Amino acid sequence: MTAGSMTKVWLGLGSNKGDSLAILHAAIEELRSLLEDLKVSGFWRSRARYYEDQDDFINAVVSGFTMLDPHELLARIHVIEAAHGRDRTREFAKGPRTLDIDILLYDNAVLAEPDLIIPHAGLQERKFVLLPLLELDPDLVHPVLGLSLMNIAASLPPQGIYPLVDDRYDAPYPQ
């Protein structure tokens, strides 16, 4: 999964505040400066989980190769989120946000620190992450559980996750 000293990573993106599609498209373009060979899933609409009294989210997953270590990548992601109006000091957990970017997987690394958990702690319970992730890489295995993400996704109950059908959905993402 690595190319030279490059590490393959998968990032989850979500937005439910503001012009979510425009925000996600802009963030994806900005992620091109961090990730080589960037691949982008389709966009998915998902009902809010945990705190349900908010608008639906639009979600996507990107993958690519980076030379940044996980903490450097996280810091750069936070800059992109802030540039799109995210203020972590003013929002509440699981609430509305203009942009959320999570490191889902960092190759097969396992990291558990106060500010960063890889693989993402909610990965195995969230279809809004698993479905777009599996679009990009259907053979992924959870590095801690040792289970195929396809089997994990298949075992979850319905969660209100739907492909966002627009004129771009079936077209390749512009490179």
Q: Annotated active-site positions, please? A: 86, 97, 100, 102
Residues 6 or more apart from 112 whose CB is under 8 A from it?
A: none
* Token pair in block for residue 56: 């639906």
Residue 44: phi, psi to the nearest 5? -130, 140
Q: In whole angstroms, what is the distance from residue 35 CA to residue 68 CA?
A: 9
Half-sphere exposure (Cβ direction) of 23: Cα atoms closer than 13 Å: 23
Contact of 61 with 133, CB cutoff 8 Å: yes
